[in-house]
Amino acid sequence: MEDEIDLRQYIAVLIKHWKLIVIITVLAGAVALAVVLLTPQVYEAKSRVSILKGDAALLLSLARSNSIADEVGKEAAVNVKTADLTAGKILAAVQAKQQGTLIEFTAQYNDPAKAAFMANGWAVQYAAYIDNFLRNTEQTPQEAGSSADSIKKIYEEKQQALLDFQSSGQIENLTQDISDLGLLMEVLTFRDQVQSLSGPARPAAAVKTLYYSFITRAIGGQAGVIASPVDKMPEVAESDIDNLISSLESRAGVSHGITAEEIRGRVGDLTGKRSAQTIQSTELTAQRDAALKAYQAALAQVSAAEIAQATSGGYVRVADKAVAPDAPLPDNKKWLNVAIALVVGFITGVIGAFAVEYFGKTAKKPEG
């Protein structure tokens, strides 16, 4: 059949442009290989400290600290004599995890000696940091607990102040007053427009649509949503509009006959008050959050004081020093990436071959 695909034509195109396919495939593989060869190898070194006393969870929570990173960085500047081992890089390179009664520090870096230096330096400085942190607790557990109770009361007071402010609904009330005044001003404008028209010039359908839309909003409905078709709505008299205005004036707490200019001034005052209330709400929330953080810190201090009282120092000690690794970490993905690059290059070459064939035929096709 004429519609059947003749695979021989496609194979012929591939054979014709096989050099292009090979070149693109080789180039893609070469680029991927260059990236793999130029990517620095990563070496991993591990050290361990033994937990002698104290709460393991607390000790692990203190295993990564900027203070430790700073001390290791200072040692690196003196002993390794290099500027690339900054505290930030060291902190990023070292990870900690608990293994029973041990805490293991793993350092990964592109230099085996520096990886071992970071792992060992971290273990030594961590042991010193823990002893100093727990030994120098200035409060007894009772004193720390009393301080925590006082801070808790402050937190509870701040929390209650925020809840009381929120329950007063001042911001919500001001927002509602502003909304009521805005609706009143719209209806006043609507009445002026209706009064300026009379007889056939007054579009009854438009008047009814707007009037009943205002009624819907006044009773808390969605703006523009009217339950009945316009032609089935009762006619709207000017007295109906006046009654609606009187109702809105009463709800907004303003005198009868208030002008649009007076409404704008009142809206400006209410908007200023609402802004002040919003700022106060933000400040109360910030005070509550700060008190909560202080209380959480006080609870941590209670735990530290309890550990310090139950022990007499020597909380951890270095159990296993790191050695410079002989080989980098295996990275099987890099060769997988090369293989993927070859496949992608081959597919791109095939597509390029058909593109060259197509545009070549198009260019040779006679005009007219």
Q: Helix or strand or coil: residue 85?
A: coil
Is the overall model pTM greater than 0.85, yes or no? no
pLDDT for residue 48 is more than 90 = yes
DSSP codes of every residue in 324-339: --SSPPP-HHHHHHHH
Specify the higher pLDDT residue, 5 or 126. 126
Measuring CA to CA, which residue among 365, 363, 359, 344 is closest to residue 21?
A: 344
Q: What is the pLDDT of residue 11?
A: 84
pLDDT in tens, 298-313: 888 888 777 666 655 5
pLDDT for residue 283 is more than 90 = yes
Cα angle 110, 111, 113 (rounded to 5 degrees) comes to: 150
Q: CA 254, CA 9: separation in Å to the nearest integer? A: 88
Q: What is the pLDDT of residue 350?
A: 87
Specify the higher pLDDT residue, 110 or 331. 110
Whether residue 301 contacts residue 147, with contact meaning beta carbons closer than 8 Å, is answered with yes
Whether residue 89 contacts residue 55, with contact meaning beta carbons closer than 8 Å, is answered with no
Q: What is the pLDDT of residue 312?
A: 54
Assigned token pair, 300:
């941590």
DSSP state, residue 41: P
Residue 34 pLDDT grade (very low, low, confident, very high; cuts 50, 70, 90): confident
Other C-beta atoms lying within 10 Å of the C-beta of residue 361: 9
Measuring CA to CA, which residue among 186, 165, 167, 164 is closest to residue 252?
A: 186
pLDDT in tens, 96-136: 999 888 999 999 998 888 999 999 999 999 988 887 777 66
Q: CA 351, CA 345: separation in Å to the nearest integer? A: 10
Residue 55 pLDDT grade (very low, low, confident, very high; cuts 50, 70, 90): confident
Q: What is the pLDDT of residue 138?
A: 55
DSSP state, residue 77: I
pLDDT for residue 160 is more than 90 = yes
Q: What's the whole-number average pLDDT of the chain?
A: 83
Q: What is the pLDDT of residue 152?
A: 93
Quote the radius of gyration of the chain (alpha carbons, Å). Answer: 39
Question: Checking phi first, is residue 330 left (phi over 0); if not, alpha (psi -120 to 50) or beta?
Answer: beta
Q: What is the pLDDT of residue 87?
A: 85
Q: CA 128, CA 123: separation in Å to the nearest integer? A: 9
Residues of the chain with pLDDT > 90, as a percent, come to: 20
pLDDT for residue 2 is more than 50 = no
Mean pLDDT score, 133-161: 83
Q: Helix or strand or coil: residue 100?
A: coil
- Find all residues with CB under 8 Å of 90, minimum gap 6, and list them: 69, 72, 73, 76, 118, 121, 122
Q: What is the pLDDT of residue 201?
A: 59
Specify the higher pLDDT residue, 362 or 348. 348
pLDDT for residue 224 is more than 60 = no
pLDDT for residue 84 is more than 80 = no
Residue bearing tokens 């008299």 = 237
Q: What is the pLDDT of residue 1?
A: 43
pLDDT for residue 148 is more than 60 = yes
Measuring CA to CA, which residue among 119, 114, 35 is closest to residue 331?
A: 35
- Find all residues with CB under 8 Å of 190, minimum gap 6, and list them: 210, 211, 214, 241
pLDDT in tens, 6-22: 678 878 888 888 888 89
pLDDT for residue 366 is more than 60 = no
DSSP state, residue 101: T
pLDDT for residue 365 is more than 80 = no
